[in-house]
Structure 1
Amino acid sequence: MRFEVVIWISLVWAGLLNASPSGGTATFTKLKLHIESHPVSSPIYHGYTAHRFTVDNFASEKKRITFTLPFRGISSEDFNIRNITRSFTISPGSQTVTILQPPLPMGWIEEVKITCDGQQRSIPRGIALRMSETLNCGLHQPRVVFVSRSINQTTMEKAIKACAPKGGGSGSSGPHHYHGRGGPHSDVHAEFLSSGEDLPKWPRHWLAYSCYDMIILRGIEWNQAPSDIRSAIERWVLCGGKLAIIGSGYSPPSGWKEPDDTPLRNIGIGEVKEYESDSENTFKEIALWLGADDPENNQGTIPIFGGLQKGVDALHHTWNYNDRDFNSYFPVIGEARTPVRLIIIVLTIFVLLAGPVNLFILNNKGKRAWFLWTLPAISFATSTVVFVVSFFSEGLTPRLKTQSLTLLNQIEQEATTLGAIAVYAPIAPSKLNFSGQTEVTPLFQGRERGPFGGSRQRDSGSNRQVEWSAGGEQRLTGKWVGSRVPAHFAIRKSEHREERLQVDWSGAAPKIINGLGCRITRLYLSSPEGKIYEGSEIGPGKNTLLKPVAGGLKSKTSKDNSTTSLAKQIADLADQDSVNTISPEKVPPNCYWAQLSEPSPFLEDPLKGRNSRHRTSGHIIGILAQPEDLP
């Protein structure tokens, strides 16, 4: 027993001596637990923040520990997360755990609370507060680039400076927090973060990479990385990331169109470029890919669906006042109005009853002293009527509007979804539920005119908290949605899914079985030869024979005709009337485009379990296996 204690104490001291100077540690002596934090201090402008901890369990049994960060949440901060909690069951040995923070600031306290078996410890500098922006979609912000430790960061920074227009600033990396606050453009094109770890120790969840605009690594590193890390980076690419691979060794996922005469490969909504070596010309090409030669440095946002993209482009500025809000770009409550005329009529009746009518009746009865209690009674009754009329004119049922686009690679069984969600609730919901693979970006507008000129921001929410369940689901608790104030969320997600459209090509026309789990309003299917077929109103599980599209249309054979280009066109024209202007010829061979008028199975309902008035539309772009590859 003494020998075990001595060994354990030695290990703890070794951890303390080798701890990162920027992090901190906590020790549960009796429980034989040691926790070390690994904060990363570089700023980010969109996406999730990954807070990582190494837990050493020297005991012989499992331990369940709970992290709360920060230690003391500040509930008075506008547009902030108060705290995040997550519990882990730690087996004997060493384990690295990750706690993900949605894209909102989280106050200024960096202390972390750790609880185990009723005991409590804290790490004074357990986290780094990387997200400081309420305008959290990356518009006009520096591109944040994550670089493998094998890549020479200094050389990459020099390439950025060399490509930057003369007189347009340094174009270099660095903590330039003033970016985007004084105008629409910045001298800073990119900020680099070099990994302090080898690729096999990188995060295993795609949301840990969602804050980066580009990742640069070597092909040999990719080839030797564990499959779950490659999968996480691939999901990040599918959701819009840019991956630069130097040297051979990269193996792309199946199903995506091969590049013709360019190193650029479209995968999902993202892009991959392969370079032969880390020459000076390679770093120059990467700098140009980052847009370092753009004199205005117009950094766009993360991929956002439909009207919310237009709203972010118009509202996420701090230099220009805009009297519109996100509800005007993605309306969820446009048809509801307070019954002003009815309330005026009620108040007019109150004035007549409480004054002349009341006095006339009391005077005839000789009870004028009763005026002291009849007036308050009539006032209370009128106030109740006004409240009931105004409150119940909208009802108690919340309104929900969702739109989504899913790229479903049936070969890899991977679904990538862009979504837009708007919620309006007379009574604020206490909880919103989302998958653990979903990036949830709450959207707030940039400026609102103040009462004396100038500007101000108003936060209709409060006490925002995030609870990660044991199964990895995220629950947004507190007031993420204010009462009677529309709330909007941009969604990105990529996950393993087994839904599919089964196609039988054996006959003169294809037969399909709808295995997508929802009704298809309209379906366009392109054969491997490019001939297009269509069908409509296909229920889940239904077997349907498709017919050729009128006019014998075929898929276009141009270089830009791909699932990625079709997805971007649908995302830009998310309004149903506009989407209908897209020709079926845009569907690439051996792919399909399904239009939905009921909730998509790939986009979660944040109000699940509650009745709501749900308006929805959705699209699924599917990639089929080649007929010869089918079992």
Structure 2
Amino acid sequence: MRDIQNERGRTTALVLGPRGQLVLALLAILFSSSLARAAKYGDIEVTIKSEPRGTAVHGYAEVEFVVTNRSSQAAHDVRITYPKSSYSYGGDYLRAVSRNVSVGAGESARVVIAYPERIDLRGNGAGVTIDGREEDSALPVGTSTGSRGHSSYGSARSWGTQLLALYSKSVDTRFSDWTAQTQAQLQSAGKYLTAETVRADQAVDQWSTNWLGYTRYDGVVVTADDLRRMPAEVRSAIGQYVECGGALFVLGRDPQLPGPWKLKPDPQHPVSVAAPGFGQCITTDQTDIATFPARVLTPVLESWSSTAAPWLRTRTPSDANRTFPVVEDIGVPVKGLLALMFVFAIAIGPVNLIILIRKKRKLWLFWTVPLISFVTCLTVFAYMALTEGWQGRSRIEGFTVLDENSRRASTLGWTGFYTPLLPSGGLRFSAETEVSYQNGEDPYSSSYSRRGSSNSALTIDWTREQHLASGWLTPRVPAHFALRKSELRRERMTISKGADGAPEAVNGLGADLSQFWYRDEGGNVFFAEGIPGGGRAALKPLPGAPATAGAKTLRSIYAGDWSTLPDRMKSDGPALLAPRTYLGVMEAAPFVDDGMPGASVRKTRSVVYGILKEGGDGS
């Protein structure tokens, strides 16, 4: 075949001749430069390095830019905004996602802009602002309207569960065909999964170093050689993605996994499975599975389906507040307002007039009426301030898996905000947090039939952190967000033997524990109540210890409803405990971002599932 292709190439060269070959070379140069999508603005050159591919309905998409300063003397401040201009047919939409960077003379800077897939993004290209001056021409971005699955009228809903998986350039090019065959067999068995697989356009050493860049995918597929070649930062990001609920499939022998994960053979399929955090990692020794692809890929597609499960449900703001109430009553106090209006009407009318007639000062109506109105307005504001406060309320709850072996904390949570007045600072989250707006938007429906939308123009600024700058909050309307977060943390619990041989626990989690369970190597469960931060407590055997057989797994908890996790974990959590793990309940949320720290009333609660470090007693 290669000889035939070479012969065809020589024949083409002879037919075209030298002049034709020159034309082809020029066309190739022009075509390759157009693919680069670079634009030059004076000293500054901006190039799009990578864009998301495939149709996603959750997670974050990343667009990576490279900003190069061609000047040999002057530094420049550059702001990238995507999209440059936006529009809406109704419903919430992303008006602008931006990031600032300072580029020194002769230097280049990498600028990554991430945006949530569940919110509509419609617009034209990326805008560039240099030293405060906005450039007129936009940089064309291939993920604009329609090309990434968000058409002008919303995404079309496929029959069954819509899945999206990314596979590396080293994976066999037949992988999409193998997936399609497996999908067809699952459908014949009554399991309807629509899986789209996209091949990466960059080698693994160029992949994103931020785990948020993988959240749009229900699965990531790499080879064992990929894991050995990729930089530690990329491998760590993939590990964070998996531990926060993602799915990783590895083809090839002896993979260098992103964490200290324990693989166990699957008794029904020729694969091995690990369950790190809330996610799942599946490996196979084979790289060519063409003979029986369904035997290998059936558990892989089921794992992808579990990754997508939490994102298939939507809620209106009222539904979200019933499930996760920030305030008990968000209704307008009609009776109180009617009573106030009645008193106001009597005071400003008959009472005021009668008093002025008796005093023979009717002309005073010109200042008594405005004065009574002003006093009434002050009364309304004072009542609002006393009952609701000026800075609003927040509620934060989370469930964290703290693995002391990898030092990584993987958190699922919900947070809600209610504010009587619109705060000027917006909401702020860390760059390691995935924030999913629970405002009733259905990613599958047309934007003309969005449910529960406030028709807001939403903005995000990534310059210092993830700043939800405007549009996310509406006065007197609760706003809810589902959160995932992965970060390195040094908090830990220390378990050691006391003088009487019974285990003791030292609380190093940075918050008081109201309840604490621990399962030792022998399967015995111990319990303590009320361990203050930094304090020590003796653990007592728990009679009737919860059995682990048939208990839910962390993976099944991820696939369920996150809004009630702390309540459910207080009763069901002890059954999750494996040997040398613990579960702690605290009336605080140290592992979840506080998006509005200035709230006048804050309700916080969280549960920590801890995995003690191997090879020691926890000390």
Q: Could you tell me the TM-score, scaled by structure 1's length?
A: 0.79
1:607 lines up with 2:604 in the alignment: no
Contact 1:264 1:274 in 2 (8 A): yes
Once the 2 structures are TM-superposed, how far is the Cα of residue 485 of structure 1 from its aligned partner?
Answer: 0.7
CA distance in 1, matches of 2:555, 2:161: 25
Q: In the TM superposition, what are the counterparts of 1:493-512 in structure 2 within 5 Å? A: 493-505=485-497, 508-512=501-505
Secondary structure at 1:404's aligned position in 2? Answer: strand
1:549 lines up with 2:561 in the alignment: no
CA distance in 2, matches of 1:583, 1:240: 18
Evaluate the alpha carbon distance shift between residue 98 and residue 131 of structure 1 in structure 2; reply closer, same or farther with a 3 A threshold: farther
Evaluate the alpha carbon distance shift between residue 500 and residue 456 of structure 1 in structure 2; reply closer, same or farther with a 3 A threshold: closer
Name the amino acid aligned to 2:570.
N
1:588 lines up with 2:600 in the alignment: no
Cα deviation 1:553-602 (Å, max 9, x = unaligned):
3763x4867655677789585253x443326343110111111112x221
CA distance in 2, matches of 1:75, 1:547: 62
CA distance in 1, matches of 2:510, 2:390: 30
Cα deviation 1:65-112 (Å, max 9, x = unaligned):
523223534476641222122133557566654221234546422322
More displaced 10-residue stretch of structure 1: 561-570 or 123-132: 561-570
User: RMSD in angstroms over aligned alpha carbons?
Assistant: 3.9
Cα deviation 1:278-299 (Å, max 9, x = unaligned):
2235532465346589xxxx96
Which has more helix, going by share of residues? 2
Once the 2 structures are TM-superposed, how far is the Cα of residue 510 of structure 1 from its aligned partner?
Answer: 2.1
1:81 equivalent in structure 2 = 94
Contact 1:461 1:482 in 2 (8 A): no
2:12 equivalent in structure 1 = none
1:574 equivalent in structure 2 = 565
Cα deviation 1:223-273 (Å, max 9, x = unaligned):
222111111111111111111111213233555554254423211111111
Contact 1:38 1:126 in 2 (8 A): no
Evaluate the alpha carbon distance shift between residue 59 and residue 30 of structure 1 in structure 2; reply closer, same or farther with a 3 A threshold: closer
Contact 2:53 2:198 in 1 (8 A): no
1:442 lines up with 2:437 in the alignment: yes
2:187 equivalent in structure 1 = 165
Evaluate the alpha carbon distance shift between residue 427 and residue 565 of structure 1 in structure 2; reply closer, same or farther with a 3 A threshold: same
Q: How many residues align?
A: 571
1:274 equivalent in structure 2 = 283
Contact 2:57 2:118 in 1 (8 A): no
Q: In the TM superposition, what are the counterparts of 1:286-297 in structure 2 within 5 Å? A: 287-289=297-299
Contact 1:163 1:292 in 2 (8 A): no
Once the 2 structures are TM-superposed, how far is the Cα of residue 126 of structure 1 from its aligned partner?
Answer: 2.9
1:124 to 117, 139, 159: 139
Q: In the TM superposition, what are the counterparts of 1:316-331 in structure 2 within 5 Å? A: 324-331=318-325
2:532 equivalent in structure 1 = 539
1:213 to 199, 214, 218: 218
Once the 2 structures are TM-superposed, how far is the Cα of residue 488 of structure 1 from its aligned partner?
Answer: 0.3
1:238 lines up with 2:243 in the alignment: yes
Secondary structure at 1:581's aligned position in 2? Answer: helix
Cα deviation 1:25-65 (Å, max 9, x = unaligned):
1124546x453453345332111110012344556679555
Identity of aligned residues (%): 25
Contact 1:222 1:249 in 2 (8 A): no
Secondary structure at 1:580's aligned position in 2? Answer: helix
Cα deviation 1:374-412 (Å, max 9, x = unaligned):
666655654554455456532224111111011011011
1:142 equivalent in structure 2 = 162
1:481 lines up with 2:473 in the alignment: yes
2:413 to 414, 419, 422: 419
Evaluate the alpha carbon distance shift between residue 102 and residue 583 of structure 1 in structure 2; reply closer, same or farther with a 3 A threshold: closer
Evaluate the alpha carbon distance shift between residue 328 and residue 560 of structure 1 in structure 2; reply closer, same or farther with a 3 A threshold: closer
Secondary structure at 2:435's aligned position in 1? Answer: strand
Contact 1:219 1:246 in 2 (8 A): yes
Contact 1:253 1:412 in 2 (8 A): no
Contact 1:433 1:606 in 2 (8 A): yes
Name the amino acid aligned to 1:313.
R
1:626 to 604, 614, 617: 614
Once the 2 structures are TM-superposed, how far is the Cα of residue 346 of structure 1 from its aligned partner?
Answer: 2.2
More displaced 10-residue stretch of structure 1: 391-400 or 350-359: 350-359
CA distance in 2, matches of 1:167, 1:560: 27
In structure 1, runs of 5+ residues without a counterpart are 1-12, 172-186, 317-322, 448-453
Name the amino acid aligned to 1:51.
V
Contact 2:43 2:71 in 1 (8 A): no
Evaluate the alpha carbon distance shift between residue 625 and residue 303 of structure 1 in structure 2; reply closer, same or farther with a 3 A threshold: farther
CA distance in 2, matches of 1:572, 1:372: 55
2:177 equivalent in structure 1 = 155
Contact 1:255 1:623 in 2 (8 A): no
1:320 equivalent in structure 2 = none
Evaluate the alpha carbon distance shift between residue 62 and residue 372 of structure 1 in structure 2; reply closer, same or farther with a 3 A threshold: closer
Q: In the TM superposition, what are the counterparts of 1:86-97 in structure 2 within 5 Å? A: 86-90=99-103, 96-97=110-111
Contact 2:166 2:217 in 1 (8 A): yes
Secondary structure at 1:498's aligned position in 2? Answer: coil
Q: Could you tell me the TM-score, scaled by structure 2's length?
A: 0.80
Evaluate the alpha carbon distance shift between residue 292 and residue 528 of structure 1 in structure 2; reply closer, same or farther with a 3 A threshold: closer
Contact 2:165 2:196 in 1 (8 A): yes
Contact 1:338 1:393 in 2 (8 A): no
Once the 2 structures are TM-superposed, how far is the Cα of residue 509 of structure 1 from its aligned partner?
Answer: 1.7
2:252 equivalent in structure 1 = 247
1:407 to 398, 401, 414: 401
Evaluate the alpha carbon distance shift between residue 358 and residue 301 of structure 1 in structure 2; reply closer, same or farther with a 3 A threshold: farther
Evaluate the alpha carbon distance shift between residue 42 and residue 388 of structure 1 in structure 2; reply closer, same or farther with a 3 A threshold: same
Name the amino acid aligned to 1:619.
V
Secondary structure at 2:572's aligned position in 1? Answer: coil
1:99 lines up with 2:113 in the alignment: yes
Contact 2:326 2:394 in 1 (8 A): yes
Name the amino acid aligned to 2:180.
K
Once the 2 structures are TM-superposed, how far is the Cα of residue 347 of structure 1 from its aligned partner?
Answer: 2.2
